[in-house]
């Protein structure tokens, strides 16, 4: 069978009736490469920065990682040509308590969720204790500002021009609990509904934007009854910040994604209810009862991609266009029901660490005692897939590249795949055994040795 014909079969998998699914042929897989330190791969954990920023320098020669070699997590810059590592932070106090690191220490330690990279200037931003800091790739550090008393932080973001840093904060009462008695699972997630507490007690979140040179607080936008954990500057217009309502206790399908325009001081809901969805939503309307997650800007700042699942329906991936207000969504096959993330390269190609499976496969039974949030999908996916979307025709081409085989236990073991800037490689986390490590795989479509 020709390579082009195999690709056609792979595209059809997303459209075929179930009784024809077995016609899809299995591809060979690309080889995985260990990126993090091979000598300590079973001694300490190493992971990518969170996927709302890149972990790679603009020339793809250096990678920025979080490693707990030595006991406490620190940020390291690893030269992928020489293997030389430079430790950029000086943390000896463990993990700071923040979103997703619920059992961390209040006001002490490195905010693992706080680390973001200006990949053009190669400057990292992070929170150490209550200090908002930055460091260059040589380890020269500077304190910019302080987190106000009584607030919890989450994933930060630096604008593409490198001039602004957004630190989302929420009234600390949102995570006021004893992890030992009120925490559940490996990550000690609160047993109570966090967003429910935010709504009931009228707690607020704050978009705090700082000058990256002086550290001056440029502005602070209060958002009442909101728990913000993800923020992203528009790549073209840093006056616009996309943000979220985390783990919405109701109406997740329309409460997840928002945009704040500082120039006009306006807030816009991104996903609304409606029946005008383009692409291939499989007959499902956009509803408040849907589940939506992991929003991301396109490079031109004109569109937002996201994924989730329809209420009582299949998983889906979507795109929203700001100028027209149009939505494109593509429903996934019914058996693509394993949780994952979609991220995007500079060209609009997607990569995913979940959902995909061959029709005949029986997946491993995994005990996912953590991360049981509002999403309807089990964390047992195993593949890193390049996914090529045809939004207008509502078709996804799934190209499995390798197995990541991560156990998904806890945030750090989520693969969170990202493309290199040249789109030739994909980097991801995985805990295949005792510790989390970072790997990469060629993004080239696998080919048969014998055609």
pLDDT value at position 126?
A: 99
Calculate what percentage of the chain has a pLDDT beyond 90.
83
In the chain, what percentage of residues exceed pLDDT 70?
Answer: 91
Asked if residue 10 has pLDDT above 70, the reply is no
The pLDDT-based confidence of 378 (bands split at 50, 70, 90) is confident
Confidence band, pLDDT 50/70/90 cuts, at residue 17: very low
Residues contacting 409, CB < 8 A, separation 6+: 186, 368, 369, 370, 431
In the structure, what pLDDT confidence band is assigned to residue 368 with cuts at 50, 70 and 90?
low
pLDDT at 105 over 50: yes
312, pLDDT greater than 90: yes
CA distance 402 to 446: 9
Angle (CA) 267-49-76 rounded to 5° is 140
Query: Taking the mean position of all CA atoms in its chain, how far away is CA 132?
Result: 22
pLDDT at residue 24 in the model: 58
The predicted structure's pLDDT at residue 27: 73
**E strands within 257-340?**
257-261, 266-269, 278-280, 291-297, 303-309, 315-321, 327-331
Residue 263, pLDDT above cutoff 70: yes
Model pLDDT, residue 375: 65
Which of 28-32, 39-43, 293-297 has the weakest average pLDDT?
A: 39-43
Q: Which helix (DSSP H) or strand (DSSP E) does residue 183 occupy?
A: strand 183-184
Identify the pLDDT of residue 328. 99
Burial class (CB in 10 A: 0-12, 13-18, 19+), 312: exposed
Written as six digits, the tokens of 405 are: 């085989």
Distance of alpha carbon 170 from alpha carbon 151, whole angstroms: 5
Q: What is the DSSP letter of 55?
A: S
Element (H, E) at 210: strand 204-211
**pLDDT surpassing 80 at residue 316:** yes
- Predicted confidence (pLDDT) at residue 39 exceeds the cutoff of 90: no
Q: Which is higher by pLDDT, 332 or 369?
A: 332
Stronger pLDDT, 28 or 217, i.e. the higher one: 217
Note the pLDDT of residue 13.
Answer: 47
Q: Is the pLDDT of residue 3 over 80?
A: no
Q: How far is CA 100 from the centre of its chain?
A: 12
The pLDDT score that the predictor gives to residue 253 is 98
How far apart CA 308 and CA 315 sit, in angstroms, is 6
> In terms of DSSP H, where are the helices of 136-229?
179-182, 194-200
Confidence of residue 12 (pLDDT cuts 50, 70, 90): very low
Q: How many CB atoms lie within 10 A of CB 6?
A: 19
Find residue 261's DSSP bridge partners.
Answer: 240, 266
Q: Share the mean pLDDT of the chain.
A: 92
Mean pLDDT of 22-29: 68
The answer to whether residue 270 scores a pLDDT higher than 70 is yes
Question: Of 92-96, 154-158, 280-284, 375-379, which gets the smallest average pLDDT?
Answer: 375-379
Which pLDDT score is estimated for 448? 66
Confidence of residue 16 (pLDDT cuts 50, 70, 90): very low
pLDDT level of residue 185 (50, 70, 90 thresholds): confident
Residue 37 has pLDDT above 80, yes or no: yes
* Residue 181 binned pLDDT confidence (cut-offs 50, 70, 90): confident
Q: Rounded to whole angstroms, how far apart are CA atoms 377 and 336?
A: 9
């Amino acid at each position: 069978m020709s390579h082009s014909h195999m690709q056609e079969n792979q595209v059809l998998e997303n459209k075929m009736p179930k009784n024809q699914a077995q016609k899809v042929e299995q591809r060979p897989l690309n080889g995985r490469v260990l990126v993090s330190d091979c000598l300590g791969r079973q001694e300490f954990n190493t992971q990518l920065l969170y996927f709302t920023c890149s972990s790679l320098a603009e020339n793809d020669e250096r990678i920025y990682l979080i490693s707990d070699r030595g006991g406490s997590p620190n940020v390291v810059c690893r030269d992928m040509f020489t293997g030389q590592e430079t430790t950029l932070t000086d943390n000896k106090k463990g993990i700071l308590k923040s979103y997703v690191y619920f059992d961390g220490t209040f006001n002490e330690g490195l905010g693992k969720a706080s680390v973001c990279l200006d990949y053009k200037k190669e400057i990292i931003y992070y929170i150490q204790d209550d200090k908002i800091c930055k460091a260059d790739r040589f380890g020269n550090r500077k304190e910019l500002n302080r987190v106000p008393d009584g607030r919890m932080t989450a994933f930060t973001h630096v604008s593409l021009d490198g001039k602004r840093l957004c630190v989302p904060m929420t009234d600390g009462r949102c995570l006021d609990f004893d992890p030992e008695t009120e925490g559940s699972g490996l990550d000690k997630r609160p047993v109570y509904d966090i967003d429910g507490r935010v709504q009931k007690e009228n707690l607020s979140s704050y978009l705090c934007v700082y000058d990256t040179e002086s550290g001056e607080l440029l502005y602070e936008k209060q958002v009442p009854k909101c728990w913000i954990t993800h923020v992203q500057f528009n790549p073209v217009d840093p006056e616009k910040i996309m943000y979220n309502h985390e783990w919405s206790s109701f109406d997740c399908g329309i409460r997840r994604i928002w945009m704040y325009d500082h120039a006009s001081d306006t807030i816009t809901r991104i996903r609304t209810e409606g029946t005008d969805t383009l692409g291939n939503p499989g007959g499902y309307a956009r509803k408040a009862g849907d589940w939506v997650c992991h929003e991301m800007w396109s490079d031109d700042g004109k569109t937002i991609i996201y994924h989730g699942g329809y209420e009582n329906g299949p998983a889906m991936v979507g795109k929203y266009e700001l100028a027209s207000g149009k939505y494109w969504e593509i429903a996934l096959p019914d058996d693509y029901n394993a949780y994952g993330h979609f991220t995007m390269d500079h060209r609009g190609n997607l990569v995913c660490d979940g959902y995909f499976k061959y029709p005949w496969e029986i997946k491993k039974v995994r005990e996912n005692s953590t991360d049981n949030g509002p999403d309807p999908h089990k964390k047992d996916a195993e593949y890193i897939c390049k996914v090529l979307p045809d939004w207008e025709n509502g078709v996804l081409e799934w190209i499995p590249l390798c197995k990541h085989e991560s156990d998904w236990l806890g945030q750090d073991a989520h693969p969170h795949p990202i493309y290199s800037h040249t789109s030739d490689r994909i980097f991801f986390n995985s805990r295949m055994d005792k510790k989390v490590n970072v790997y990469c795989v060629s993004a080239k479509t696998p080919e048969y040795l014998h055609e």
